[in-house]
């Protein structure tokens, strides 16, 4: 039986795992999270936000025990583009 759980954001993945995970919207328009970057007032603060965003994406990707699906539209987020 397939069980589908909707998780509203990557932050919710920290303490859970699933047999299959779909990360939707992993494109340059959505990752890094624009609103998170807007609050960064210096280059150091921006880099810390980017590191946190990369970490959250990593956590989302590693919660899949069997299958991982990543979707995007347009340009893939630069966080994943390096892995191609």
pLDDT tens for 11-21 read 555 557 778 88
Please answer whether residues 57 and 14 qualify as being in contact, where contact means their C-beta atoms are separated by less than 8 angstroms. no
Domain ranges, residue 61: 14-81
How sure is the predictor about 84, in pLDDT bands with cuts at 50, 70 and 90?
A: low
Q: Is residue 4 part of a domain?
A: no
For the domain that residue 66 is a member of, what is the CATH number?
A: 3.30.160.800
User: Is 6 part of a structural domain of the chain?
Assistant: no
In-domain check, residue 7: no
**In the chain, count of helices (H) and strands (E)?**
3, 2
pLDDT at 69: 93
39: in domain: yes
Q: Which pLDDT tens digit goes with each residue over 28-79?
A: 888 888 787 888 889 998 899 889 888 888 888 888 889 999 999 999 998 8
Query: Is there a domain that residue 71 lies in?
Result: yes
18 in a domain, yes or no?
yes
Say what the pLDDT of residue 67 is: 92
Q: What is the pLDDT of residue 73?
A: 92
| Number of domains the chain is built from | 1
């Amino acid at each position: 039986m397939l069980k589908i759980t909707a998780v509203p954001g990557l932050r919710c993945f920290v303490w859970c795992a699933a047999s299959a995970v779909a990360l939707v919207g992993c494109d340059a328009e959505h990752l890094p999270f624009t609103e998170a970057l807007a609050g960064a007032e210096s280059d150091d603060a921006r880099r810390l936000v980017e590191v946190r965003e990369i970490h959250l994406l990593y956590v989302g990707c590693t919660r899949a025990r069997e299958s991982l699906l990543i979707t995007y539209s347009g340009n893939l987020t630069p966080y994943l583009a390096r892995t191609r």
